[in-house]
Each structure stands twice: as C-alpha cells, then as structure tokens.
Amino acid sequence: MVSSATSVLAWGTALLVAVSTTACTSFGNSPPSISESEPAASAWELVGQLPLPLESHQTVVLDDIVYLLGGWNDTRGPYAEVFFAPLTPTGTLDDWQPASASLPLRLQHHITVVHNGALYVIGGDTGFFEGSTVTDLIWRAVPTPTGDITEWVEVGQLPVPLTIHTVTLVDNQLYIIGGNQTFQPGTTMGDTVFTATIADDGTVGTFESLTAFPTEIGWLTAIALDQHIIGISGRTQFSPNQLVDTVWRAEVQPERSLSAFMPVSTVTPRQRHTSVLVDRTIVVIAGGGSEQVLTAVEAANIDEQGDLTDWRSLSPLPGPRYAHAAFTYAGDIYVSGGFVRYGSNETSADIFRLSQSDWDL
C-alpha cells in the first residue's frame, strides 16, 4: 500500500512567498491558462489508500517512513491518530500502522515539519464549530528505530493561537506566516510573520515579530531554497473567491530577520492547495479555485538568484482535490486525501503518484 506525505522543505537563508487574488498582477512569468471544463488525461497513478478518508491532514517523510498526522472527515470530525508506513525501494508503502502515541489534541490545519530526526506539530484547530479551539502549542516527537512514535512533548508556544497558517524552516529557524486565531466564517486572516530558533535540545525559543506580510493571508504555502522561500497562493477571507495570485520574495537578513516581501510572479489563484519542491522545481498541486475545485498542476524552476521561470502545466490530477496532502520521494510526487468538490463533505482516501519521468521534462 502507498501513502502520501506533505513535507515542509527548507534550505538556505532567504524567503519567497506566493499569494493569489482574483485581481491579477501582471508579470512576465505568468501562469498558464487553466481550464477545468474538459479534464485532460492524467499521468498520475493510483498507488494506494490512506487508512481512512481525510482532509486537512499532514504527511511527512523521515528516514524513508511516511507519517500521517491528524486531519478531518465527516464521520468523526478532527482526528488525533498518527499512522506510519515504511517506503519500499520501488516507492510504494508497506501497510499503515497506528503509532503508539496519538497527537495531544484532535487537530486539523496544523503544520508538521521535520528537523534533526524529529517531527514538530505547530498550531492548528479542533474543528469548525461553536466551542472549537485554536492552539498555540508546538509538540515534538522522535520516532523509534522501527518508526513508531511513543511520546509527544510540548517544546514551544506560538505568540498567539494560529490555524490555516504556513510554516517554513531555514536551517534551525522557524518562520510562521499568516493564518488566523479562529476558524470561524466571516473573520479576516492575519498578516503576521514570526520567527524563532530551534535549539540543539529540540526546544523552540521565544518568537519574535517581523515586518508584516503585505496582505492578510491564510492557506499560504511556503518553501525555502538557497536564499529564498517560495510560497504559493492563499486567500484573505473565509470565502473561496477572496483569492490572491502573487508570488512574494523576502531575503533572510543577519540575525534571521527578513527583508520586506516583494512580488516576483503570479500563479493561478487557489487555496487549500499543496506545493512541493523537487531539486530546483516548485510544483503547485490542485486546490480550490474561485469557482470550482481544481485538478491543475503547475511547475516553475528557480534559478540561483531566486527568480522563477515561466509556469508550465504538468499532468492534472485524475480528479479535483483541495485540502489534500503532498510529499516527494526520490523525485516522485505523491498526493493523498482531500475534499473532492465544493459544497460537499466527501473526503478521499486515494493516494496518487506522479513519477519523475512523467513531469521532469
């Protein structure tokens, strides 16, 4: 059986972040024209199933083992369960196994990063209903040699509770961008940017506020490479049509501060999508568009100065997905779960893989 994992990948010392609005900014490297009315044939291969249908879950890879953490479905709402499955040499997964220790809370919209052999779970919320809460806590787990997780330890605290935020990691420095302190309709996203250092003992230090992001933003994705972090799309309100289409870039300065984020590109507006980095290529996968859920997959290369090439279309997903998870392994791209359409609570357990030979042209 095969699984999927979203990894927040980060290297280097600068930041690039992307946002999207239905009012588009014009750049030379604009996105390709996307039409969802007649889906094209897909090179994505169905390679397995999650242990249960989920959306807003997290998946990461550590030491050739995929971890599935939390998420939501219509049966029970948010989950605390954690599962793991080893990757095989052919890129498939062995059977899913439940970890000994579940998350301390039932969570959705949390972010998971991997650092120095440990998993960090940052923020998130307990559901979309009256009385649900958003957490400001950070938990850490170190898997056993067999991949099991036996304990979660609280190792830090965000300056405020956050959900639908994004997190990127540059060396041992965490950067937290946007998000919201509630998960309720009618609220405005935040424009905050925070940073903190992960110490040698695995604890997270006190967060410092940095220059605000250029716009309020939620469901932004962010990836770090060399001197840059690239984030793709998001939205400014709890409404699918409040999307932004701008790609922003900021430099990491001495003492880990940031320069102001500046627009450098545009992408097809979307939210609750995923973005992965393979070598020097960003791949942006599906998500919710302004009117319907997308199948579109787009890619752009990053040069050593942090500039992006023109976006190009890759093979679309076999069906629409948003609030899914994604990860890369040996150059292949995996996508799992997610909602399948607007106006429905139907979630998927499917895991699809796009082989590197089918996208790296």
Q: What is the pLDDT of residues 263-301, one digit of tens each?
A: 989 999 999 999 999 999 999 999 999 889 999 999 999
Q: Examine residue 132 and state whether it is found in any structural domain, yes or no.
A: yes
- State the pLDDT confidence band at 241, using cuts at 50, 70 and 90: low
Does the pLDDT value for residue 22 go beyond 70?
A: no
For 118-164, how does the pLDDT look when each residue is reduced to its tens digit (9 = 90+)? 999 999 999 877 778 999 999 999 999 999 999 999 999 999 999 99
- Domain limits at 177? 14-359
Does 204 reside within a domain? yes
Instruction: Return the closest-CA partner of residue 81 out of 129, 139, 149.
Output: 149
Q: Is position 1 within any domain?
A: no
The single residue listed with the structure tokens 């919201």 is 180
Mean of pLDDT values over 177-188: 85
Say what the pLDDT of residue 319 is.
95
CA angle 187, 188, 194 (to 5 degrees): 125
pLDDT over 80 (residue 25): no
Amino acid letter, 159 = P
pLDDT tens, residue by residue, 46-75: 988 999 999 999 999 999 999 999 999 999
349 part of a folded domain: yes
Q: What is the CA angle 225-325-170, rounded to 5?
A: 25
For residue 89, give every residue at least 6 positions away whose Cβ sits within 8 Å of its Cβ, in sequence order, or none: none
Within a domain: 6: no
The whole-angstrom separation of Cα 66 and Cα 73 is 20
Arithmetic mean of pLDDT over the chain: 87
In a domain, 9, yes or no: no
Q: How many domains would you assign to the chain?
A: 1
Is the pLDDT reported for residue 27 higher than 70? no
Instruction: Tell me what the mean pLDDT of segment 344-350 comes to.
Output: 95
What token pair was written down for 325? 């998870």
- CATH number of the domain residue 234 falls in: 2.120.10.80
- Dihedral angle sign, alpha carbons of residues 150, 124, 300, 47: positive
pLDDT at 194 over 80: yes
CB atoms within 10 A of CB 89: 7
Determine the pLDDT at residue 96. Answer: 96
- The DSSP secondary structure of 267-281, one letter per residue, reads ----BS-EEEEETTE
User: Is 5 part of a structural domain of the chain?
Assistant: no
What is the band of 109 on the pLDDT scale with cuts at 50, 70, 90? very high
Question: Could you give the CA distance from residue 138 to residue 286 in angstroms, rounded to a whole number?
Answer: 28
Ordered alpha helix ranges (H), the chain:
356-359
Residue 283 in tokens: 């791949």
Helix, strand or coil, per DSSP, at residue 33: coil
- Per-residue pLDDT at 183: 85
pLDDT bucket at 30, cuts 50 / 70 / 90? low
Q: Is residue 6 scored above 50 in pLDDT? A: no
Task: Return the pLDDT at 252.
Answer: 87
3 within domain boundaries: no
